[in-house]
Amino acid sequence: MEQIKDVAQHFCIEGEILSAESYGCGHINTTFLVTTDKNKSYILQKINTGIFVNPGELMENINNVTIYLSNIIKDEGGDPQRGVLHIIPSCEGKLYITINDGTWRMFSFVNDSVTLQVIEHPVDFYYAGKAFGKFTRQLDSYPADTLHETIKNFHNTPSRYNDFEAAVKENASGKAESVAEEIEFVRERKDFCSLFTDKIENNTLPLRVTHNDTKLNNVLFDRKTGKPIAVVDLDTVMPGLSLYDFGDAIRFGTNPAAEDEKDLDKVYCSLELFEAFTRGYLEECGQLLTDEEINMLPYAGKMMTLECGMRFLADHIAGDVYFRIHRENHNLDRCRTQFKLVKDMEEKEEQIKEIINRICSEIKDCRAVKA
């Protein structure tokens, strides 16, 4: 950890560094918690530049979006100190630094905050829905076309499908044959993949500023009140569909088990949790969603879960080159939970529609799903 402390010294921090330790459960960047003798804490992150190939553009996005959000939160009477990420610049005033072979950035640590890996009480997921719905609402007037696309075609599901087929063809790990059943699962759903992208092309779904990685553990909750404080992990804030944000949150949070649970009997889409998130989300941004966005909400969870599952599967076949793994066949385990969820969501499609319809009818000015 001495090396991490050395890196942290290059940022504009208060006090002498006491400790630096690994933090969080992300699959892409590497996160550390740094504390100082002035009772200050910071999040130091090594950006994965194999994936985020232009850290300058990435940090410019985050800087602009956080400044914008800070002003909105102030206008709404909130606390901009805790309600949004704050970049700690380097001693030279830069948004990130490159030392040796690493690219690093720092944020102030939001004190008394916690993140959840799975939902224990539905109310927490209701609050997560509020947090992401609010994020969408607060960025509604942000000029989306000024944002850099930090990862091209990030949630373009047909493009992800093509990447998946390319990985199967190349079969770098030699494991494709052993996952024939999983490959077939994806192929059976090929046509479904273009449901949203077709509607972008014919202008029936609007592009908005979206987060694109709305995992439950990207919401900070207040340790004391349990209320949401801020949305973090802004690397993939880009123009996208509201359905990506709604769907990815449903993918991760409605499953009462872990994303890499090996016992698939424990993995399913909880309708109670689905309802809790949907209510929180639509209370915050239901009024600005269009009819078509609301019409597509029932398929958003399935789309994001199928897409994520095929990304895990493609990476397993490619030899685990993208998502960090902690055990053998880890990406395969992750893929299997996603496919179990997809199946369950397919079986529950009618109930999912009913829940959305009911919530829409209860929220003032929110459009109801047509039968």
Stretch that binds ligand ADP, among 75-83, 217-225, 287-295, 360-368 (CB under 6 A): 217-225
Task: Please calculate the CA angle 191-192-197 and round it to the nearest 5 degrees.
Answer: 95
Q: Identify whether the C-beta of residue 84 lies closer than 8 Å to the C-beta of residue 234.
A: no
Site string for ligand ADP, 316-355 (x = CB under 6 A): ----------------------------------------
> With binding defined as CB under 6 A, does residue 113 bind ligand ADP?
yes
Q: How far apart are CA 151 and CA 133, in angstroms?
A: 23
- Identify the residue among 7, 20, 29, 331 touching ligand ADP (CB under 6 A): 29
C-alpha separations of 142 from 147, 202, 238, 243 in Å: 9, 23, 11, 18
| Contact residues: Mg ion, CB under 5 A | 26, 218, 233
C-alpha separations of 90 from 21, 143, 246 in Å: 20, 28, 35
> With binding defined as CB under 6 A, does residue 36 bind ligand ADP?
no
Q: Identify whether the C-beta of residue 117 lies closer than 8 Å to the C-beta of residue 216.
A: yes
In the complex, least distance from residue 15 CB atom to ligand GN1, rounded to whole angstroms: 29
> With binding defined as CB under 6 A, does residue 11 bind ligand ADP?
no
* Of 158 and 354, CB closest to ligand GN1: 158
Q: How far apart are CA 252 and CA 244, in angstroms?
A: 12
User: Choosing among ligand ADP, ligand GN1, Mg ion, none, which partner's interface includes residue 58 (Cβ < 5 to 8 Å by kind)?
Assistant: none
* Of 193 and 219, CB closest to Mg ion: 219
DSSP string across 170-231: H-TTS-GGGGHHHHHHHHTTTGGGGHHHHHHHTTSS--EEE-S---GGGEEEETTT--EEEE
User: Choosing among ligand GN1, Mg ion, ligand ADP, none, which partner's interface includes residue 107 (Cβ < 5 to 8 Å by kind)?
Assistant: ligand ADP
Q: Tokens 């369950």 identify what position?
A: 344
For residue 247, the number of C-alpha atoms closer than 13 Å in the C-beta half-sphere is 28
User: Choosing among ligand ADP, Mg ion, ligand GN1, none, which partner's interface includes residue 36 (Cβ < 5 to 8 Å by kind)?
Assistant: none
Q: How far apart are CA 345 and CA 197, in angstroms?
A: 20
In the complex, least distance from residue 7 CB atom to ligand ADP, rounded to whole angstroms: 16
| Contact residues: ligand GN1, CB under 6 A | 26-28, 51, 213, 215, 233, 236, 259, 308
Q: How far apart are CA 295 and CA 215, in angstroms?
A: 23
In the complex, least distance from residue 322 CB atom to ligand ADP, rounded to whole angstroms: 13
> With binding defined as CB under 6 A, does residue 126 bind ligand ADP?
no
Stretch that binds ligand ADP, among 3-11, 20-28, 55-63, 277-285 (CB under 6 A): 20-28
DSSP string across 74-87: HHTT--HHHHS--E
Could you tell me which residues are beta bridge partners of residue 171? Answer: none
- Identify the residue among 31, 70, 197, 357 touching ligand ADP (CB under 6 A): 31
Q: How far apart are CA 355 and CA 146, in angstroms?
A: 36
In the complex, least distance from residue 232 CB atom to ligand ADP, rounded to whole angstroms: 4
> With binding defined as CB under 6 A, does residue 129 bind ligand ADP?
no
* Of 230 and 366, CB closest to ligand GN1: 230
Q: Which residues would be at the binding site for ligand ADP (CB under 6 A)?
A: 23-24, 26, 28-29, 31, 43, 85, 107, 109-110, 113, 115, 217-218, 220, 232-233
